[in-house]
Amino acid sequence: MTLPKAKPNTIEIVKLLETDSTNKYAAGLIADKKIEKPTLIYTLQQNSGKGLGQNTWHSQAGKNLLFSLVVFSDIKAEEHFKLNMIVSLSICEFLLLKGIEVKIKWPNDIYCQNKKIAGILIENNIYGNLIESSIIGVGLNLNQTEFPSELKNPISLKQIKNTVYDIDIEAKLIAQILIDKLEQFKSKNFTTVLKYYNKKLYRFGLFSKFKDKDKEFSGYIKNVNESGQLIISDKESTTRLYNFKEVELLS
């Protein structure tokens, strides 16, 4: 497809009635060299939504925000977690505009009232030592009120605020916040962004139950470090470091 020409400093917008995955669709546009500036791709129905690892994203057709935003950041490859932090903080800001306080459940979920309201999947294209472009995939529960029983703890904006939201309006708003926040933070010191991020961590400093490859244990989240590792202090005061998918927060 040929994307419409846009005015300077605007976001290209592609709306799809249905697709298998907006991240996959975005990757195809990049491969075909059809994207040269920030581009929002959103859909009303996603048949094979992607999550971290082998996870998938379930969504009722026409009810939620399902989008991918292609951005060009020039963030250093070794600082890839900085992009994850900026995206997480952007979603927090979007939801705050809706009157909702949320927390970031490391590494890629947004929680409200101890329930999952949004998930993030970022796929980076690296050239040399820089992230040349990124596909920021987001699923956010907007108007859905009934969820499959296999989903542990979903919640939507409509359930919280008893309001029906316009998908077109909200998709463009959250994309603009993401672009603005990226411009605001990408030149800042990594430590500064990490400080903001750690302040928003879900279950920060609270004793919780975790499970790693060896066993279940109790401890509390101390912080996330510059490598994106989760640092937990267990009940014996032993410090544990975990990469993505190496530990699960149980309660």
Lowest mean pLDDT among 3-17, 31-45, 54-68: 3-17
Mean per-residue pLDDT, 208-224: 96
How confident is the model at residue 50, as a pLDDT?
54
Residue 81 tokens read as 């977690």
Structure tokens at 55: 């996870």
Length of the chain: 251
pLDDT of residue 49: 52
CA–CA dist 185, 189 (Å, integer):
8
Is the pLDDT at 7 greater than 50, yes or no?
A: no
pLDDT in tens, 86-142: 999 999 999 999 999 999 999 999 999 999 999 999 999 999 999 999 999 999 999
Residue with tokens 């961590």: 201
Kindly report, residue by residue over 177-208, the tens digit of the pLDDT. Answer: 999 998 888 777 888 899 999 999 999 999 99
The answer to whether residue 54 scores a pLDDT higher than 60 is no
3-state secondary structure 40-86: EEEECCECCEECCCCCEECCCCCCCEEEEEEECCCEEHHHHHHHHHH
Provide the pLDDT for residue 73. 81
How much is the average pLDDT of 152-170? 95
* Residue 5 confidence (pLDDT): 41
Contact (Cβ atoms closer than 8 angstroms) between residue 61 and residue 45: yes
The identity of residue 127, as a single letter, is: Y
Which of 60 and 24 is assigned the larger pLDDT?
Answer: 24
Predicted confidence (pLDDT) at residue 52 exceeds the cutoff of 60: no
CA 181 → CA 167, 187, 201, distances in Å?
Answer: 21, 11, 18
Question: What single string gives the DSSP state of each residue in 150-196?
Answer: TSSSB--HHHHH-----HHHHHHHHHHHHHHHHHHHTTS-HHHHHHH
Closest CA to 63 of 172, 146, 151, 152: 146
Closest to 132 measured CA to CA, from 72, 200, 89, 179: 72
Domains contained in the chain, CATH given: 12-199 (3.30.930.10), 208-249 (2.30.30.100)
Query: Model's pTM, two decimal places?
Result: 0.90
| pLDDT above 90 coverage of the chain, percent | 75
> Residue 174 in contact with residue 65, Cβ under 8 Å?
yes
